[in-house]
Amino acid sequence: MSGTGPRIGGAVGGRWIARPRPSAEARLRVICLPHVGAGGAAFNGWLGSLPEKAELCAVRLPGRENRIAEPLAEDWRTLLADVQEALLPLLDRPFVLVGHCSGSVMAYELARRLRDAGHREPDMLVLSSTEAPALRRIDDPLHLLPTRELLDRVVEFGGMAKEVLDDPDLMAMFERILRADYRVIERLEYSAGPPLDVPVTVVGGRHDPFVSHQAMAAWAAETTKEFSLHLLDAGHYVLNDAGRTVAGTVRHLLEGGTGR
């Protein structure tokens, strides 16, 4: 890591990391990557469920929230490198790496890159509503869809209120972010190599019309450690309900001791 990178302290990770409840006494960090179009604040609803000794650290991507004036990411390799560097100061203690929906793509690749670079690996990788790498296909890229089709698809996924479609200004701003985020995620290529030596938990909706149970269960092939699949009574968008499942996983890690 370069000497000009993020520093440990009150602003660990600087503009890249949201820490709504900073704690120097935290025994475990829960590092979250949001879905397309979202920011770090998407995970704030989990705060009430997480144990006191767990610190929520949510990644803030360029072009939204406190980074609204910054250019949106264009190259997935550059973005991954920047996120990885921002995360390094957070890896001074055990951590769970969480990817929500399309954020799971980035979380999985980050876990692989941390391993390959010899950095500390997560005590658990938690992914949601996403097919396993062996089944990933980008046949019809969403970032190339016409405006109305793109926004209608996101509403179907459950990640956007229909009211946004009735507000031209909001719609224009949100479309720009969505299109850029999808372009990054859809072009991202997983690195080659053996499965992770990290337990993997996958959370999904029992009624998800976009990702099948089998596609989520196939993540078992990506780890040499324990694998579990939690199907919730939900559709594709499971962010709110998934918080309780993640909190349970974190609590189990804290009670059983952490540290790889």
Domain extents in the chain: 14-136+192-256
Confidence (pLDDT) at 5: 37
Sign, CA dihedral 26-226-116-42, equals negative
Rounded Cα distance, 138 and 191, in Å:
16
Categorize the per-residue pLDDT at 170 as very low, low, confident or very high, splitting at 50, 70 and 90.
confident
Closest to 174 measured CA to CA, from 158, 150, 157, 156: 150
Among 142-146, 158-162, 172-176, name the one with the lowest average pLDDT: 158-162
Most confident range, picked from 135-139, 163-167, 207-211 = 207-211
Is residue 186 within 8 Å of residue 192, measured between CB atoms? Answer: no
Categorize the per-residue pLDDT at 254 as very low, low, confident or very high, splitting at 50, 70 and 90.
very high
Pairing of strands 17-18, 54-59: antiparallel
Confidence (pLDDT) at 260: 56
- Provide the mean pLDDT of the chain: 89
Is residue 50 within 8 Å of residue 6, measured between CB atoms? Answer: no
Share above pLDDT 90 across residues of the chain, in percent, rounded to a whole number: 75
Domain 14-136+192-256 top-level CATH class: alpha beta
Among 52-56, 78-82, 158-162, name the one with the lowest average pLDDT: 158-162
Confidence (pLDDT) at 198: 97
Q: Count the Cβ atoms, other than its own, within 10 Å of residue 105.
A: 24
Is residue 133 within 8 Å of residue 220, measured between CB atoms? Answer: no
Residue 257 has pLDDT above 70, yes or no: no
| Average pLDDT rounded to a whole number, residues 239-248 | 92
Q: Is the pTM of the predicted complex or chain greater than 0.85? A: yes
Confidence (pLDDT) at 171: 80
Confidence (pLDDT) at 258: 62
Confidence (pLDDT) at 150: 84
Is residue 55 within 8 Å of residue 21, measured between CB atoms? Answer: yes
| Average pLDDT rounded to a whole number, residues 1-23 | 62
Pairing of strands 54-59, 95-99: unpaired
Residue 30 has pLDDT above 90, yes or no: yes
Categorize the per-residue pLDDT at 138 as very low, low, confident or very high, splitting at 50, 70 and 90.
confident
| Average pLDDT rounded to a whole number, residues 113-127 | 97
